[in-house]
Structure 1
Amino acid sequence: MTDAAFPISDAGDHDMLAHAAMALYPPTERGVPRLLCLSENATYRIDLPDGGRRVLRIHRPGYHDATEIRSELAWLDSLHATGLPVPRAVQAMDGERLHRMTLPGMTGRHVVMFNWIDGTEPTPDIAPDSFARLGRMTAHLHRHSRAWQRPAGFRRKSWTHATMVGPQAPWGQWQAAHGLDDAARDMITHAMARVGAELTAYGHGAARFGLIHADLRLANLLIAGGKTHIIDFDDCGFSWFMQDLAAALSFFEDHPRMPHWVAHWLRGYNTIASVTQADLSILPALIAQRRIQLLAWGASHAQTAQVQGLGPQWNARCVTLCRDYLDGCLARRIGV
C-alpha cells in the first residue's frame, strides 16, 4: 500500500493496457482480463481458454522500479523452491517476466503475470488455528530470509520507524487524518516518540531485522481447505521480523480476539523458530506503529471504499490504541 494509488478514473486506461498485455504471452497464457482490484496496483484475473486462470498485476507508477520488482520475483522463486505456497511469475514469449508497457497518453507501467491461487480471503472470524498456521509459515519465511544469499543487485525498500510513520513516509502522513484534534495529535506524537525510542533500543541486528513480507494482513492471505497461501509480496522489504506479526493484525489491532490471534501465531511460530523475550516485549510498539502507519494510509485514501468501510470511529480508536500502548494496557492484553 502507498499514497500513490491509482486514480479510480484511470480504470478504463488500465483495462486497455491489460488487454494489450496479453500479446506478450504465449497463446495458452492469453485470456480475458477482468478487474479484481484497482487500489495500489491494478490487479486483473485472466480467464484462460482451457478454464485456467492467471493474475495480471499492473504496477502503479513511482513506487517500485524494475530492479525492486525483479528482486521481489527472485525472492518468490527462492521461497517457492523451499515448498512455501507463494505466487509464481509467468514467463512471456521473450522469456522475461517483467515488462514495461505504454499506451498513447499514458505513463509507462510495469506488468507481471502470476499463477492463480485458489482460496478465500479470511475475515476477523478466522479460526485461531489459522493464525497458528500463519505463524508457522512466517517462521519458515523468516528462516529462509536469514539464510538466503540474495542475488547481486537485490534491492527492496526498508520499513523503519521513519519510513512507516515519519514526515516522508511513503504511505502518507498520519497528521492528515480526519477528526484529530490537538489532544489526539499530542497522544499519537507521544506514542510514536516512545515507539521510536523502543525500536532504537531494540536495534537492527541481523537476528531481529531482515527481509520480510511486511504486509501480512488478512487481505493478503488465501485459505483453501486446511492450507493458507501468502500472496501479494508487493511491499516486501527490510524490517523487524516481528513486524510481520504486527502486520497480520492490520485494521484489527483493537479487536477483542486480537490477543488470541497473537497467542496462536506465536504458538505456530515457535514450532519452527524461537522468539526471545525482547521480541515479545517489542510487540506493543510494533502494533501501535503499524496502526498509525495505517492511519496515514487511510488519510491518503479517504475516498476509497476500503477506508470508508472502516467506519467513522476507526480514526478515534487509533488514538485509543496509542493511549493503551502508553499506559501498558496493550502489553497486558497480549501478555508481554
Structure 2
Amino acid sequence: MTDPAFLYQQAHAALSGYPLRDARPTLVSISENVIFRVDTTGGERYALRLHRPGYHTAPEICSELAWLDALHASGLEVPLPVPGHDGQCLRTLPGDNGMTRHAVMFAWMDGNEPTPDIDPAAFARLGHITARLHDHSRHWTRPDGFVRKAWVPATMTGPHALWGQWDSVPGMTGAGRDLIAHCLRQVDAQLADYGTPPHRFGLIHADLRLANLLVSGTHTRVIDFDDCGLSWFMQDLAAALSFHEDHPHVPRWVDHWLRGYATSGPLTQADLDILPALVIQRRIQLLAWTGTHHDTQQVHSLGPDWSDRTLGLCQAWMQGRLLRHIG
C-alpha cells in the first residue's frame, strides 16, 4: 500500500520505538522500499526505511544489519543502523490485509546521487570501495543464523526469479524470447564453468548501481544494502552498470572501476572473461523487473525502446561484442 497518509502513520508507529524527541518524518521516496527523512528539534537527522511487505524476512534483514555493523567497524562508510528503546534495530509493524511491514532506521548520510554523466574517476573510487567490501566479505565470519538470498541464474533469470519472469514482459515477441533463452543457456554454461569457489563467490552488495551511491566531493559512499546476498564478486560490477549497459561511457566506467578495484583486490583473467556474461544476465534480470513495474515512473523514464535495446545487447553479447575491450 502506497497511500502517503498510511505510510506516514506507519512511520510514526516505527518512530515510537526510538528514543527521539519531536521526530518529524518527511517522505523522500516510494520505490521497492519507502524512505523517510527524520529530523529532530536537536538537529539530528536519520533515514527511516519501511520495507516492502513479503520480500525479506526478519532474519534476512537482521543479517544485513549485522554485516553493516561489521563493515562500519572496519572503517567503511556505509549506513549505520540505529537501535531503538529495546536495543534492537528492527521494528515490525502491523500492516493492511494482515501483512506486517519491517522498519529500520539509519544514521543520515550526506551526498548526491550521481547521474550517467558522472566523472569516470568516481568509478575508480567505487571499484576501490567494492574491493574493500569484498575483502571484508571473504574474511568475515558470519554470525550464527545469518541468511541472505542467493543471486544465481535460477533466482535472477530462471524459474525462481525474484524480480519476475523476463518472458512475460509486455511486448515480448517470440523472436525475442528465443534470443534471450539462447543467450541465457550460454550464460548459465559459462557461470557453471567459472564456478563458486570462495575467492569468486560470496557475500556482496548486489545492487551497486548509480542510484545507490552518494557522492560528496571526492567521497563516494555506498548505501542501500537491501539486496545484499550471495553471488559472484564480479556481479557487483555488472550491477554498477544497471540500466545504462549501452551508455557510450560504459567502457571508460568499466576501465576505471577495474583500476580502482585492482588497488585493493585481486583480479584474474577469468574474472575479466566472465564479466560480459554477468552484465547481460543482470540486464535480462532488469528487463524482468520492468515487466513487474511497468506502470512506474522509473520504467517510463527508460524510454519506449528499452526492451529493444536489451535485445540489441543480447545480440552483441552473442557476437562477442559486449565489453570486448576490457582488461
One of 13, 20, 44 as aligned partner of 1:20: 13
Deviation at 1:78, TM superposition (A): 0.5
Residues 153-206 of structure 1: CA deviation (Å, up to 9, x unaligned): 110000001100012201000112122211111111111111001000000111
Q: Is 1:43 equivalent to 2:35 in the alignment?
A: yes
Assess if the C-alpha contact under 8 Å between 1:324 and 1:330 holds in 2. Answer: yes
One-letter amino acid matched to 2:20: P
Deviation at 1:274, TM superposition (A): 1.2
Deviation at 1:97, TM superposition (A): 0.8
- Equivalent runs, 1:5-154 vs 2, <5 Å: 7-8=1-2, 10-28=3-21, 30-102=22-94, 107-154=99-146
Structure 1 residues 275 and 45, CA gap change in structure 2 (3 angstroms): same
One-letter amino acid matched to 1:153: G
Q: Give the Cα separation in 2 of the matches to 1:300 and 1:17.
A: 25
SS in structure 2 at match of 1:234: coil
Deviation at 1:72, TM superposition (A): 0.4
Residues 278-331 of structure 1: CA deviation (Å, up to 9, x unaligned): 000000000000000000001000000000000000111000000000000114
Per mean C-alpha deviation after superposition, the further-off stretch among 79-88 and 94-103 is: 94-103
TM (normalized to structure 1)? 0.95
Deviation at 1:106, TM superposition (A): 5.3
Unaligned runs of 5+ in 1: 1-6
- Equivalent runs, 1:1-336 vs 2, <5 Å: 7-8=1-2, 10-28=3-21, 30-102=22-94, 107-332=99-324, 334-335=325-326
Aligned-residue CA RMSD (Å): 1.2
Residues 196-247 of structure 1: CA deviation (Å, up to 9, x unaligned): 0100000011110000000001000000111011000000000000000000
Q: Give the Cα separation in 1 of the matches to 2:76 and 2:98.
A: 37
Structure 1 residues 53 and 160, CA gap change in structure 2 (3 angstroms): same
- Sequence identity (%): 57
Deviation at 1:103, TM superposition (A): 5.4
Assess if the C-alpha contact under 8 Å between 2:18 and 2:85 holds in 1. Answer: yes
Q: Give the Cα separation in 1 of the matches to 2:83 and 2:195.
A: 40
Q: Give the Cα separation in 2 of the matches to 1:183 and 1:104.
A: 42
Residues 30-59 of structure 1: CA deviation (Å, up to 9, x unaligned): 511111111211111112112221111111
Q: Give the Cα separation in 1 of the matches to 2:106 and 2:119.
A: 28
Assess if the C-alpha contact under 8 Å between 1:178 and 1:315 holds in 2. Answer: no
One-letter amino acid matched to 1:97: C
Q: Give the Cα separation in 1 of the matches to 2:12 and 2:29.
A: 16
Per mean C-alpha deviation after superposition, the further-off stretch among 100-109 and 158-167 is: 100-109
After superposing on structure 2, the runs of 4+ consecutive aligned residues of structure 1 that deviate more than 6 Å are none
SS in structure 2 at match of 1:330: coil
Partner residue, 1:3: none
Q: Give the Cα separation in 1 of the matches to 2:14 and 2:326.
A: 50
Residues 58-84 of structure 1: CA deviation (Å, up to 9, x unaligned): 111111111111100000000001111
SS in structure 1 at match of 2:16: helix
SS in structure 1 at match of 2:77: coil
Assess if the C-alpha contact under 8 Å between 1:11 and 1:38 holds in 2. Answer: no
Assess if the C-alpha contact under 8 Å between 1:180 and 1:316 holds in 2. Answer: no
Unaligned runs of 5+ in 2: none
Q: Give the Cα separation in 1 of the matches to 2:41 and 2:187.
A: 52
TM (normalized to structure 2)? 0.97
